[in-house]
A = this chain, B = another copy of it.
Amino acid sequence: MEQLQMTRSTQLKTKPATDQLGFGRHFTDHMLLMDYSKGQGWHAPRIVPYGPLTLDPSAMVFHYGQEVFEGMKAYRTPQGEVVLFRPDMNLKRLNHSCERLSIPQVDEKALLDAIRQLIVLEKDWIPEGEGNSLYIRPFIIATEPGLGVRAAHDYLLLVILSPVGAYYSEGIHPVRIYVEDQYVRAVRGGTGEAKTSGNYASGIKAQEVAEGLGFSQVLWLDGVEHKYIEEVGSMNVFFKVNGEVITPALNGSILAGITRDSVIHMLKSWGVKVTERRISVEELYTAWQEGKLEEAFGTGTAAVISPIGFMKWEGHEMEINGGETGDYAKKLYDQLTGIQRGELDDPFSWRYVVR
């Protein structure tokens, strides 16, 4: 990759109060851009003042959705270092998504270094306070103007940064989940294992329906038989059944979450049996009836661990662990956020120090 060019903003923004952050509502002073054009490849990496994009109305992203994205967070450690959590995994997954969407591959190492430079420049934007962090959103859009349905020849890669508040402003607490039996997020052969906009567009309707019924997230079933559990909202999902932890196997329509992978590693390191396999909602319900469904929780970058206290599937209502956060969920949340924030040892070498 060429040398990164940097144009500093001449007028810095006022930073929001740390109790007013929310998620993805405020953006920092600068962003990272890089262009792709056919023949020339990826070129002109640059840090510029954060500002609007100018795109032709026929830019392909507006019509045929060629887009991929990632999400990760930067934390400030008690020692004053700035760290990322397994960013190599995010950039590897970005390229995996690119492959599915026919978007040209990026140089992962060079991109990580460019992100590092952006974060160094914006380090004062990493908010203080328990649970706050700087959310990093790399994404690629097809910018070529034209209405022919095909892979574009021109793309823009962007990285924008947003200071975000703690997901649980009043401490980790369980959510109510609706098992979706009509809408489908993704299917085998589709784009489910890619992080691309269409998967999220597809899920908005079901999310609205669930919210209208008093639930905070949807549990997605497989698109083929509407039987097997896939994800919860935009998170991976885990169940503790009779002492064993089970999570749906990566089958092509499930996103390979980095928090998911980390949770599997941590549980195994504690000697817990973790099984990645197909699990039906019916099996789960039977386990619940028999008193064996001990915990359920989602995993993702935003919430890290999101305990599930209640699930509704057709006519069946299941309270899990008395509606309280389970022991594994609590311990995983504490240890994982502890590692991410540099407050605990890093036995798996997951932290990447931004220097």
A residues with CB within 8 A of B: 22-25, 27, 31, 50, 52-58, 61-67, 69, 100-102, 135, 137, 139, 141, 145-151, 158, 160, 162, 182-191, 196-205, 207-208, 223-226, 233-234
Bound complex: CA of A190 vs CA of B162, how far in Å? Answer: 31
The one of B184, B188, B191, B234 that contacts A201, using a Cβ cutoff of 8 Å = B191
What separation, in Å, do the CA atoms of A205 and B99 have in the docked complex? 8
CB neighbours (8 Å) of A63 from chain B are: 67, 69, 137, 139, 197, 200
Chain B residues closer than 8 Å to A162, beta-carbon distance: 58, 147
Q: In the complex, what distance in Å separates the CA atom of A262 from the CA atom of B193?
A: 37
A197 near B54 with CB under 8 A, answer: no
| Residues of B with C-beta under 8 A to A102 | 204-205, 208
- Closest residue of chain B to A61 (Cβ to Cβ) is B62
Whether the Cβ atoms of B201 and A58 lie closer than 8 Å is no
Inter-subunit contact B61/A52 (CB<8 Å): no
Q: In the complex, are the beta carbons of A189 and B183 less than 8 A apart?
A: yes
Nearest chain-B residue to A27 (Cβ)?
B58
How many Å from the CB of A234 to the closest CB on chain B?
6
Asked if B191 and A190 make an inter-chain contact with CB atoms under 8 angstroms apart, the answer reads: no
- Max chain B C-beta neighbours (<10 A), residue from A24, A158, A204: A204
Bound-complex Cα distance A102 to B208 (A): 8
Q: Which residue on B lies nearest to A199, using beta carbons?
A: B198
Of all A-B residue pairs in the complex, the 7 with the closest CB atoms, nearest first, are A198-B198, A24-B147, A65-B197, A184-B189, A65-B201, A64-B200, A187-B187
Bound form: Cα–Cα A50–B57 in Å: 8
A290 nearest CB across to chain B (Å): 30
Q: Which residue of B lies closest to A209 (CB)?
A: B102
Among candidates B52, B65, B137, B225, residue contacting A198 with C-beta atoms closer than 8 Å: B65
Given the known interface contacts A67-B62, A190-B223, the answer about A137 and B141 at a Cβ–Cβ threshold of 8 Å is no
Complex Cα–Cα for A69 and B150 (A)? 16
Contacts A196-B201, A197-B198 known; 16 new A-B pairs at CB < 8 A: A25-B148, A50-B57, A52-B56, A52-B57, A53-B57, A55-B55, A57-B160, A58-B160, A64-B197, A65-B198, A66-B201, A150-B208, A184-B189, A191-B201, A196-B198, A223-B224
